[in-house]
Amino acid sequence: MILELEKDNLHEIIAANDNVVVQYSAGWCGNCRIMKPKFKKEATTNENITFVIADAEKFPESRKLATVDNLPTFAAFAGGKFKNQVQTNKYNVLKDLIGEVTGN
């Protein structure tokens, strides 16, 4: 499943789902646009993970759930707790982070 945040409620999504991976991005971020289709592709092959796209500029409370000082930032949450994050534009690094959530 993939969701795009429409309000600043990422904490609710993390609490309601066992495994969550978030892409923090912004409309002006070129690398975010490059990674977005790859992120969405992963959502189709990892059905036990909720994938969320969060605009880091529009949703400051959601941004506080990870250390977002560069975009894109990808953050993984398991069991309602922060697990790990990466700041990357490399697909294999994103896949490794997703593997931490799935145990693969």
pTM, two decimals, is 0.95
Q: Is residue 64 domain-resident?
A: yes
Q: Is residue 61 domain-resident?
A: yes
Q: Are 55 and 26 in contact (CB under 8 A)?
A: yes
Which residues span the domain enclosing 16? 2-99
Q: Is residue 104 domain-resident?
A: no
Q: Is residue 55 domain-resident?
A: yes
Of the two residues 104 and 45, the one the predictor is more confident about is 45
Q: Is residue 59 domain-resident?
A: yes
Q: Are 59 and 47 in contact (CB under 8 A)?
A: no
pLDDT tens sequence across 48-87 = 999 999 999 999 999 999 999 999 999 999 999 999 999 9
- Measured distance CA(49)–CA(45) in Å, rounded: 9
pLDDT tens sequence across 8-38 = 999 999 999 999 999 999 999 999 999 999 9
Q: Are 10 and 54 in contact (CB under 8 A)?
A: yes
Q: Give me the pLDDT at residue 22, please.
A: 98
pLDDT tens sequence across 39-48 = 999 999 999 9
How many domains is the chain partitioned into structurally? 1
Q: Is residue 78 domain-resident?
A: yes
Q: Is residue 53 domain-resident?
A: yes
We report the CATH number of the domain holding residue 54 as: 3.40.30.10
* Residues identified as active-site: 29, 32
